[in-house]
Structure 1
Amino acid sequence: MSDTAQNSACWFEIAVSDLDAAKAFYGAVLQKNLTTDTAGPNPIAMLPFNDDTPGIGGHLYPGKPSRDGATIHLIVSDSLDAARERVISAGGSVESPDVQIPPGQFFYARDLDGNSIGLFKANA
Structure 2
Amino acid sequence: METYFDIHMTPDQLRAVSSIGLAHVGDAVFELLVRSYLCAEGKATGKGMHRATVAIVCAESQAQRAEKILPLLTEEETGVFRRGRNANVHSVPSHASRAQYAEATALEALLGWLYLSGRKERVSELFGVMMEGEN
TM-score bracket, shorter-length normalisation:
under 0.3
What TM-score comes out, normalization by structure 1 length?
0.24
